[in-house]
Chains A and B, each alone.
Chain A
Amino acid sequence: VSDGELKKDVSAPRPNPKSAWRCGLEAMGSACVPGPGPNGECCKETALRECDSKFSRGCQVQCVGAKECELARLVAPEENAEHEQLGPCIPVRSNLLSRQTLALNLAILTGGVLLCCMAVPQREAVFVPGTLSAKHSQILGNRLVSERCSLCHPNAHVSSVSDQDALCMKCHDSHMPAAALKSPHDLTVEQFSELGVTRVENKLVAMETQCAVCHKEHHGNTHDLKKISDQRCQSCHQSAFNSFGDGHPEFKNFPYQTERHLAFDHQAHAGKHFAQKNETFDCRGCHVDLQKTGDVGPVFRSLGFEVACARCHTEPMRAAMVDGWALLQIPSIEPADALDGSLGLQTWPANAQFGYDGPIDLPMRLLLAADADVASALERLPPSGRLSEVKSENVVEVAAVRTLAIGLRRLIHEVASEGQAAWKRRLTVVARNALHRELAEAEASLIDDMVAGLPPDLFRHIEQQWFGTHERLASGGAEARSMIPTRLVSGQDLVGGDELLNGGDGSDADSLLLNAAGSNDQLGDDNSNSANGDLLLGSELSNSLSPSAEQNTKLTKLSGWKHVSQGGWYLDEELLAVRYMPQGHADPLLAAWAQFTVLIEGTIDSHEPSSGWHDPNLALGKIVPGGCTECHILPIHSSAISAVAAWRSVKRPVNAKPFTKFDHSPHLALPMVRDCRYCHILNESGDASLGAILKSAATANRSRVESRFVSARETAHEFLTGEFAGMQQTQCNACHREGGANDGCTQCHNYHVGTDGFEWSRIQR
């Protein structure tokens, strides 16, 4: 450097960039030109010694040749006087060696740290790729740290490969067992076929999806494992729409396509019934229970009869059932039939021998139709089913009535001798004939419910009292005749049997009843009658057997609502009928009979209508007394009997997660949608009520062979489906949109549907 001007000497030899050492004097401006050797030793002497060779091996400066030894010149003492003054060579690490040393040290340090981390018991804390979600953390929180990873990742410690999803299902199998299928929506190929998925799409159906594909664990304690991006859904659902508010398919009459089991006419109740009572029609009164939480929050399909309906419907229902239900009534036949020894009807009750009369209702038809000859006879009866329309000159009908009477006698005898088994056997035969197959478990259970509580003692009493008395009457003359309980003429007291038998008007009933009550020799033989207190007839008669009361006690006619007010079986001595008094709303026996009837009637399309038991006059709402089937729409397929309790408000099973979900709770808190009518808008178009429509449908279909119940169900379902205006997507979009409330797929749709959810959705459809 001279006068501050630095020369730019690019021709000066530069240190080899790959050399590990350089001269330490370089920073002082007097570097040793050859520089240090490969191991950091001073290279000056070596360079001079090897100057004659072609290359100065090991030194940084190459020798250019022996004759013009640049190296020798550079290291000559006169040229490096300053260097000599400064002292010996001080080799220092080159940048390359420094970098390599640093990199190696850092790698060794990293490896050492990793090894140390692997050695300590808390190694999981170092290598875990993030904390677990809150729920999994709670489960694993009480485990030793060393065990936590291996619970879900056994492969890390053993040499066998295991299925990661199988470990997930160990805990999650209980509430979604179908997830083990790993198929989309946990459905089978058959279920997809039922949904109409085409063969091309079946490629996706056959795809197995691992749990971890959607449920990303180790994303922190606050991470929601169930939060699935829309993109995941649109992997398969590739319909061209961006979001809920942009291109989502319109609702198809959602949510009213769901099958309803209660034929509740909202329009008629709101506009007529509540209006007549000057009451406010409030949806919450029947649907909202803030004390409970169900599938859709505190909103239920119905809060039940007691809460929602009983206030208005209890009294009419009680009035309809005041006389109970005559399941079996002995019809009246011609006296000549009873005298005909070839028919075997000599024991026919004398007070049922005044010409063909009496209804043959559905229960009796069902019970009698088990006999093939009786079933055939039932078909030959007048269309009205009333024997009063049988003409004496019509040989066919008369023969049918006689066969029916013989069959009825046989039925009573069977039940009296075999008990409930006979009843059950007959119903089973009829059901099997109607369904053309063996009965399913639910159907057999249904018959059990129909038979439950039937007391055989009543039939023994019928055998002994109604039919046995006649035997004595036929053989014993006037004494026995005085013991016959007579028919009651409507609105009058019991009349004397003699007079009735002699064609009297029955004006003196008291004395005759006393005679009947006095027949203690017969009742006394029947131990079960006297011992069984709940047999009201037996009880009444037993009481009447007291000699002191025999003359003075005046037995009144048995009335269902008065004497059997809590429900049960009793005999109608007046009409010679076996009656059942329901226990009020939701009587199990009536329910079973109604369901059985609908089930059997529902099959009428599939085979010949002339099955004997078929009652062409039976209306959907009049199957059983009390009008059960006026409100309850019962399933016509046996498979649905066990799947849905049609008599109860539909409640989704806990494990059933259908494709679509909705929770009313957060919506009811919003002022805008607090009023149910924001979403559920009644259609004002129709003037006719459901009852009127059903009545006209029944009338229209009366002449048709097809089941009126099927068509009535369809009519009811059609009416109920269109009762409300279908919800519009814009109603939801008001809040659920981008930048507003969540509009993701999983907000309204479940992924893990499985068989339970699929079945539920199918039933709902």
Chain B
Amino acid sequence: MLRQRRLLAMTLTLLAVALTALAVQWTRNRLGDESTLTGWTLLASTAGLYLLTARKRMIARRLGPVAAWLQLHMYMGTFASVVFLMHIGLPIRGIFEVWLASCFVIVAVSGIALGFMSRSMPKKLAAIESDYLLEQIPALQFSVARDAHQVALASASLGEGATLAEFYQRRLLPFFQAPRSLVYRLVPNGITRRQLLRELNDLDRYLAERGTESRQRLVTMVKSKDDLDYHMALQTRLRMLFVCHVSLTWALALMIGVHVVLVYRFQGSML
């Protein structure tokens, strides 16, 4: 069902793109102004993208599920991006034109990335047992770090000596207390997790039974902390892209308006 819906939506999008390309070609063949055609098409499709925002605000009326509107938004955004490429001439010249195009590109690229990530992220997050809200993750990270600290302190009083505590201080303390690196936040991976777990396992030869238990608890905490970090990285990345996508919405609308007025004022027609 989902596949059929996507296939239908993609077919419709491609059909719209093909029709627009044919119209542009037809206009060009008749020495018409294809910029006007693509410009108004782009304006109309861009205005259609704002319908999602409007739909979110109109919760009292029955206008279909937001998810459907989101799908419409995604495919219309894809169509608008193609029309945008038809409309502009490369290289883009003029300071204002570069601003406008950059703004559109940022919104479009972030939107496309959001579309892909919204499809791929659930699978990645579902691979993790727990489900966390982004707002709750710092508290959970704090909690895990506190527990790990307590386990490490307790292990110092055991018969094995300070082996586990020393390892915690040297290797685990930065992992639990400090935020993950920028590289990890951009591209979350399990390298550190696997390395720490391997090193913890290597401590077994120095630990007695109680020490092994403590080591096992630390292993669990490392996994939990890494899962939290993974969640946080993915969700933050998604949220940042979303912020990037949404924050330029009104600036883009404003610049589009100025662009249309300028075009018609300087083209010889009045607007």
- Residues of A at under 8 Å CB distance from B? 1, 3-8, 10, 14-15, 22, 26-31, 95, 98-99, 102-104, 106-107, 109-111, 114, 117, 125-131, 149, 153, 155-156, 159, 161-164, 207, 209, 213-214, 216, 218-220, 231-232, 234-235
Contact = CB atoms under 8 A, between A and B. Distances in A.
Nearest to A98: B243
Contacts of A131: 93
A220 B217 CA distance: 67
B117 interface: no
Nearest to B271: A155
Contacts of B138: 27-28
Nearest to A103: B247
B44 interface: no
Interface string B230-270: 00000000010011001111110111001000100111111
Contacts of B221: 4
A12 to B, nearest CB: 9
A29 B268 contact: no
A218 B94 contact: yes
Contact of B140 (A6, A22, A155, A234): A6
Contacts of B58: none
B250 A104 contact: yes
Interface in B208-245: 217, 220-221, 223-224, 227-228, 239, 242-243
A219 B89 contact: yes
B246 A127 contact: no
B269 to A, nearest CB: 7
A218 B138 CA distance: 53
17 contacts: A4-B217, A4-B224, A6-B228, A29-B136, A29-B140, A31-B139, A99-B242, A99-B246, A102-B247, A109-B251, A125-B95, A155-B269, A164-B267, A213-B33, A216-B89, A231-B29, A235-B28
A1 B143 contact: yes
Given A4-B147, A130-B93, A102 B243 contact: yes
B40 interface: no
Contacts of A128: 94
A330 to B, nearest CB: 72
B246 A161 contact: no
B90 to A, nearest CB: 11
Contact of B131 (A3, A8, A98, A234): A8
B28 A129 contact: no
Nearest to A209: B31
Given A8-B131, A126-B95, A29 B144 contact: no
Given A3-B217, A114-B258, A235-B30, A163 B247 contact: no
B202 interface: no
Given A28-B142, A209-B31, 19 more contacts: A1-B140, A1-B143, A6-B224, A6-B227, A28-B138, A29-B136, A29-B142, A102-B247, A107-B250, A111-B254, A114-B254, A127-B96, A155-B267, A156-B265, A156-B266, A207-B30, A214-B31, A232-B31, A235-B30
Nearest to B262: A127
B96 to A, nearest CB: 5
A155 B254 contact: no
Interface of B: 28-33, 89, 93-97, 129-133, 135-136, 138-140, 142-144, 147-148, 217, 220-221, 223-224, 227-228, 239, 242-243, 246-251, 253-255, 258, 262, 265-270
B94 A129 contact: yes
Contacts of B239: 95
Contacts, number: 140
A110 B255 contact: yes
B229 to A, nearest CB: 13
B136 to A, nearest CB: 7
Nearest to B221: A4
Contact of B135 (A27, A104, A114): A27
Contacts of A103: 246-251
Contacts of B139: 26-31
Given A4-B217, A5-B224, A103-B248, A155 B132 contact: no
A27 to B, nearest CB: 4
A159 B30 contact: no
Given A27-B135, A103-B247, A4 B220 contact: yes
A6 B130 contact: yes
A8 B125 CA distance: 13
B31 A207 contact: yes
Contact of A14 (B94, B133, B251, B254): B133
Given A1-B140, A15-B135, A235-B30, A164 B268 contact: yes
A479 to B, nearest CB: 93
Given A27-B138, A29-B139, A235-B28, A1 B250 contact: no
B217 A161 contact: no
B93 A219 contact: yes
